[in-house]
């Protein structure tokens, strides 16, 4: 008697455990850890899972269901990656199922979808309502339609009750149909049938038979001309169908006739979604003396440390150093992960890397089509596949098999932190853990290091290499702080441009140079206000004012996406017209048009880059000199390299420093320093104008002097005084519920239970600055842990208290979210 085998299967659901399924005899030979399987879950659902263990222990607590199917020919993840998922779930206080859902591209996850079909029963004797008849009319006999699609066809938003009524009358059936969001792209190729492939005599006879069918003979001869020649002893190859028809001008019917005669045949083949690239002839560029010294220093640090921080000023040539390290890693037969904080940055970098690394380079991020992501996933798994991956934070989940180097560019950037949904991981920190599991090295690169990363270097936890010279001896820009408060007092600020900035813009435009204007707020104005009664339009779902977007004449919530028309009169007092408060990138662009009508402008923000290639198009136009002024949010601060930029204007520095967040000063310094670095990058000394009502602010002074060390020392002295990272670890707890009273009571209960263990370390509960988002009221707690304290024990306590709170009937529906190391 054969022993029954069972598989523990991880499902992409927010559940705390795996589920055990029986392995049918048909799957015993192929099943192994890391394989994707289809399993039943619940009454009728079928979902994709990953096998995490195989054993012979039968579960006692429930009926064991069987695995429905095993997908693919090999595991889609290996044991190292399953352990990596487990670490992320443990460290960031989420479930492994949530990690799996985030890790796998949608194209690898089959979904169970409810479908509806008519039965053979045509009459039941029961009366039918008009809406029920409409549903039956839409359902064609012998065809299944997804429930959601059926609702759209019938024009009924909530169609499930109708379907249930028709089911009870025996007129329709509902089933679960496995469907995949990934469809392999296919391409049709033409080839000789087996009888003619290796037999020239048979092929000559066929041509003789076609002497009267001259068009067919011409098509066959053209095919042979495009395919491999027979006189070299090779098998005649395949020709893409569209290429063959285009080059001959033949019709599909003509090709079909040759297929009917069994001379040619058409075959469909899956298309590799990864673009075919060719390696550039130049190879890796040589380094200057400063870059070479930095590279040598990195090698020395890697002999002692697994992690090294490259602190190089903007435009110092850090990317060239990265490329040398990548080439060294490739020569050793290893893979490389090159992380960037924004999807947009892959555009410029991929073209540079492609010229050197060509066909071994892959790009991976969440905005790619499913088919492309799946193709990259599979190629990373192959021994002869992709060796260099350039990607955003989700690329840490790719199934590397021989990772040798991880590069985290702009390591300070908060975009590396996933906010919603879980797992709320930091890709920089996760990448370091991933690299350690492979015995690989990690290089962090930036001009403005995060306080934690720089502190780790000073404490000896990681290496540090400084690169203080710009490439080709380019000079750092002059930075000027303009006191807007004083200018307004003297009535010299006619708009949100100071006279100093206007002069610099005018001079740059006259000499054919370019300008970047930075305003970290999109839209036309952050708010509208009635000039009589002070009424301000607010979001009906969030506790924020609505942003005015003039180009589409809409009020929009930047938290939940709610939109509404601009009222012609104040709903409160009836006064016509509303005035704008503040300004965004849209209004800046309008003002530039008014002041410099001849200037060609472009705007770079979320509103203008919604299209798949719109970001690349804007950058390409600006890089080619087709635009004079680029206006943008923080998108313009990250790694962009334009040689003709003379002037950078930071229009409202105060806005960045006023947030109630211990990282506000750090972010302000990093943003201003990074956007300043866009000026004067090719031998032309640039100028940066910082508009502020507080020119004596220490952060602005450190930006002007380009003194990161002074900023770091001042910032860390304050953080040490108030117990913030890097001197403590922080876990933020967020409570969410539709009832403000319920969420407050739940937070108070958690705080009272937590104080018994954590004492003064647990702060709150408090109401966040934005206290309601998407109809959910919020309360927050903050836990500060000493570096010497056990973080894992603290997390266990937090989970235990969460479970205690959730056991209370009033608080079962309260969402309690843990954010470890909030950005």
Percent of the chain residues topping a pLDDT of 90? 53
Q: Does domain 728-820 have CATH number 3.20.20.80?
A: no
Phi-psi region of 764 (alpha: psi -120 to 50; beta: other; left: phi over 0): left
Residue 231 binned pLDDT confidence (cut-offs 50, 70, 90): very low
Phi-psi region of 396 (alpha: psi -120 to 50; beta: other; left: phi over 0): alpha
Please tell me if the domain spanning 289-445 has the same topology as the one spanning 728-820: no
Evaluate if residue 247 carries a pLDDT over 60: yes
Determine the pLDDT at residue 739.
96
How many residues appear in the chain?
823
**Average pLDDT estimate for 656-660:** 82
Residue 277 binned pLDDT confidence (cut-offs 50, 70, 90): very low
Evaluate if residue 624 carries a pLDDT over 80: yes
Cα–Cα distances (Å) from 560 to 417, 540, 548, in that order, read: 20, 10, 15
**Average pLDDT estimate for 462-470:** 91
Tell me which fold the domain 112-180 belongs to. Answer: Arc Repressor Mutant, subunit A (1.10.10)
Tell me which of 19-33, 676-690, 696-710 is least confident: 676-690
**Average pLDDT estimate for 362-371:** 83
- φ, ψ of residue 346 to 5 degrees: the values are -65, -25
Residue 778 binned pLDDT confidence (cut-offs 50, 70, 90): very high
CB 312 within 8 A of CB 414: no
**Average pLDDT estimate for 155-159:** 73
Tell me which of 62-66, 120-124, 810-814 is least confident: 120-124
- Among 681, 516, 524, 530, CA closest to 601: 516
Evaluate if residue 271 carries a pLDDT over 60: no
Tokens of residue 680, six digits: 């004067």
- Among 236, 229, 226, CA closest to 195: 236
Cα–Cα distances (Å) from 334 to 309, 326, 490, 614, 720, in that order, read: 21, 9, 63, 34, 41
Q: Which of 194-198, 382-386, 556-560, 743-747 has the largest mean confidence? A: 743-747
Domain residue ranges in the chain: 5-109, 112-180, 186-270, 289-445, 478-522+583-705, 525-582, 728-820
| 726 preceded by a cis bond (ω within 30 of 0) | yes
Evaluate if residue 53 carries a pLDDT over 70: yes
The string of pLDDT tens digits covering residues 661-700 is 899 999 999 999 988 888 876 667 889 999 999 999 999 9
In which residue are the tokens 């662009």 written? 589
CA distance 91 to 98: 13
Torsion of CA 815, 821, 822, 823, to 10 degrees: -160
With b meaning 16 or more CB within 10 Å and e meaning fewer, what string describes 758-776? beebbebbebbeebbbeeb
**Average pLDDT estimate for 648-660:** 88
CA distance 816 to 476: 47
CA distance 816 to 564: 31
Determine the pLDDT at residue 278.
44
The string of pLDDT tens digits covering residues 57-115 is 888 867 888 888 888 788 999 999 999 999 999 999 999 999 999 999 877 876 666 78
Q: 3-state class of 704 per DSSP?
A: helix
Q: 3-state class of 439 per DSSP?
A: coil
Evaluate if residue 296 carries a pLDDT over 90: yes
CA distance 290 to 274: 36
DSSP, res 565 = E
CA distance 752 to 744: 12
- Among 791, 762, 802, 815, CA closest to 91: 791
- φ, ψ of residue 150 to 5 degrees: the values are -65, -40
In which residue are the tokens 């009366």 written? 127
The string of pLDDT tens digits covering residues 125-148 is 667 888 888 888 888 777 788 877
Evaluate if residue 45 carries a pLDDT over 80: no
CB 695 within 8 A of CB 755: no
Mean pLDDT for the chain? 87
**Average pLDDT estimate for 404-412:** 96
CA distance 94 to 754: 19
Determine the pLDDT at residue 233.
41
CA 45 to chain centre: 29
**Average pLDDT estimate for 33-49:** 85
**Average pLDDT estimate for 616-627:** 84
Q: Does domain 478-522+583-705 have CATH number 3.40.50.300?
A: yes
CA 434 to chain centre: 18
- E strand or H helix at 541, and its extent? none
Residue 228 binned pLDDT confidence (cut-offs 50, 70, 90): low
CA 732 to chain centre: 23
State the SS3 of 270-286. Answer: ECCCCCCCCCCCCCCCC
CB 351 within 8 A of CB 322: no
Determine the pLDDT at residue 121.
66
Determine the pLDDT at residue 798.
96
Evaluate if residue 237 carries a pLDDT over 70: yes
| CATH of region 289-445, choose from 3.30.420.40, 3.40.50.300, 3.90.78.10, 3.40.50.720 | 3.40.50.300
Determine the pLDDT at residue 47.
85
Evaluate if residue 243 carries a pLDDT over 80: yes
Determine the pLDDT at residue 123.
59
Phi-psi region of 512 (alpha: psi -120 to 50; beta: other; left: phi over 0): left
Q: For residue 60, how many C-alpha atoms fall within 13 Å in the half-sphere facing its CB?
A: 0
- Among 808, 812, 817, 815, CA closest to 753: 808
State the SS3 of 555-619. Answer: EECCCCCCEEECCCECCCCCCECCEEECCCHHHHHHHHHHHCCCCCEEEECCCCCCCCCHHHHHH
Separation of first and last alpha carbons in the chain: 57
**Average pLDDT estimate for 423-435:** 97
**Average pLDDT estimate for 351-355:** 83
Q: 3-state class of 733 per DSSP?
A: strand
State the SS3 of 278-346. Answer: CCCCCCCCCCCHHHHHHHHHHHHHHHHCCEEEEEECCCCCHHHHHHHHHHHHHHCCCEEEEECCCCCHH
The string of pLDDT tens digits covering residues 490-514 is 889 888 899 999 999 999 999 999 9
Q: Which long-range contacts (CB under 8 A, 24 or more apart) does 351-354 make?
A: 352/319, 352/323, 353/323, 353/326, 353/388, 353/390, 354/277, 354/280
**Average pLDDT estimate for 255-283:** 69
CATH class of 5-109: alpha beta
Query: Between β-strands 335-339 and 388-391, what pairing exists: parallel, antiparallel or unpaired?
Result: parallel
């Amino acid at each position: 008697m054969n022993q029954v085998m069972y598989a523990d299967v991880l499902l992409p659901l927010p559940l705390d455990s795996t589920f055990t399924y029986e392995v049918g005899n048909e799957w015993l030979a192929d099943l192994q850890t890391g394989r994707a399987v289809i399993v039943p879950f619940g009454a009728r659902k079928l979902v994709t899972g990953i096998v995490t263990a195989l054993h012979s222990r039968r579960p006692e607590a429930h009926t064991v269901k069987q695995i429905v199917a095993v997908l693919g020919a090999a595991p889609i993840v290996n044991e190292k990656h399953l352990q990596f998922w487990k670490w992320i779930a443990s460290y960031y206080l989420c479930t492994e199922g949530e990690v799996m859902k985030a890790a796998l591209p949608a194209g690898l996850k089959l979904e169970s979808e409810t479908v509806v079909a008519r039965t053979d029963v045509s009459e039941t004797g029961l009366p039918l309502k008009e809406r029920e008849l409409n549903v039956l009319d839409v359902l064609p006999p012998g065809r299944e339609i997804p429930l959601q699609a059926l609702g759209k066809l019938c024009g009924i938003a909530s169609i499930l009750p109708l379907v249930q009524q028709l089911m009870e009358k025996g007129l329709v059936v509902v089933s679960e149909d496995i469907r995949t969001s990934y469809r392999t792209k296919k391409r049709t190729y033409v080839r000789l049938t087996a009888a003619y492939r290796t037999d020239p005599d048979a092929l000559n006879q066929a041509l003789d038979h076609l002497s009267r069918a001259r068009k067919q003979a011409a098509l066959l001869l053209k095919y042979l001309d495009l395919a491999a020649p027979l006189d070299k002893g090779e098998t005649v190859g395949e020709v893409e169908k569209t290429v063959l028809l285009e080059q001959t001008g033949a019709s599909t019917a003509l090709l079909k006739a040759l297929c009917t005669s069994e001379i040619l045949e058409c075959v469909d083949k899956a298309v590799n979604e990864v673009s075919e690239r060719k390696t550039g002839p130049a190879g890796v560029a040589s380094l200057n003396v400063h870059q070479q010294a930095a590279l040598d220093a990195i090698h020395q640090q890697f002999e002692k440390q697994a992690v090294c921080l490259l602190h190089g000023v903007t435009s110092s040539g850090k990317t060239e150093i990265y490329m040398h390290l990548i080439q060294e890693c490739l020569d050793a037969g290893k893979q490389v992960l090159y992380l960037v904080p924004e999807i947009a940055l892959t555009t410029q970098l991929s073209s540079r890397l492609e010229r050197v690394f060509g066909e071994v380079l892959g790009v991976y991020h969440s905005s790619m089509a499913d088919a492309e992501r799946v193709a990259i996933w599979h190629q990373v798994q192959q021994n002869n596949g992709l060796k260099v991956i350039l990607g955003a934070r989700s690329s840490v989940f790719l199934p590397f098999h021989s990772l040798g180097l991880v590069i985290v560019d702009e390591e300070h950037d908060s975009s590396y932190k996933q906010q919603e949904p879980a797992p709320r991981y930091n890709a920089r920190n996760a990448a370091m853990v991933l690299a350690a599991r492979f015995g690989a090295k990690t290089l962090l690169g930036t001009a403005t290091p995060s306080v934690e990363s720089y502190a780790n270097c000073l404490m000896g936890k990681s290496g540090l290499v400084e690169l203080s010279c710009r490439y080709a001896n380019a000079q750092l820009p002059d930075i000027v702080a303009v006191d807007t408060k004083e200018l307004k007092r003297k009535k010299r600020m006619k708009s949100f441009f100071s006279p100093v900035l206007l002069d610099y813009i005018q001079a740059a435009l006259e000499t054919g140079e370019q300008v970047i204007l930075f305003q970290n707020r999109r839209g036309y104005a952050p708010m509208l206000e009635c000039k009589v009664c002070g009424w301000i339009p607010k979001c009906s779902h969030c506790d924020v004012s609505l942003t005015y977007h003039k180009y589409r004449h809409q009020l929009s919530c930047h938290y939940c996406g709610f939109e509404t028309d601009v009222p012609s009169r104040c709903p409160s007092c009836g006064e016509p017209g509303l005035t704008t408060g503040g300004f965004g990138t849209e209004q800046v662009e309008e003002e530039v048009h008014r002041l410099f009508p001849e200037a060609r402008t472009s705007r770079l923000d979320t509103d203008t880059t919604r299209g798949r290639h719109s970001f690349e198009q804007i950058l390409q136009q600006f890089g080619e000199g087709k635009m004079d002024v680029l206006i943008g949010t923080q998108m313009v601060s990250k790694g962009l390299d334009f040689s003709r930029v003379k002037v950078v204007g930071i229009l409202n520095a105060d806005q960045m420093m006023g947030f109630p967040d211990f990282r506000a000063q750090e972010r302000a310094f990093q943003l201003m320093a990074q956007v300043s670095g866009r000026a004067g990058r090719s031998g032309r000394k640039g100028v940066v104008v910082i508009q502020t009502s507080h020119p004596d602010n220490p952060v602005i002074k450190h930006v002007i002097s380009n003194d990161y060390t002074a900023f770091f020392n001042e910032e860390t002295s304050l953080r040490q005084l108030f117990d913030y990272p890097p001197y403590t670890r922080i876990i933020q707890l967020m409570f969410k519920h539709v009832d403000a009273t319920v969420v407050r009571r739940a937070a108070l209960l958690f705080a009272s239970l937590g104080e018994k263990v954590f004492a003064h370390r647990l702060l709150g509960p408090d109401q966040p600055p934005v206290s309601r988002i998407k109809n959910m009221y919020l309360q927050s707690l903050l836990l500060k842990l000493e570096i010497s304290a056990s973080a894992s024990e603290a997390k266990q306590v937090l989970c235990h208290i969460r479970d205690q709170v959730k056991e209370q009937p009033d608080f079962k529906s309260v969402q309690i979210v843990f954010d470890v190391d909030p950005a």
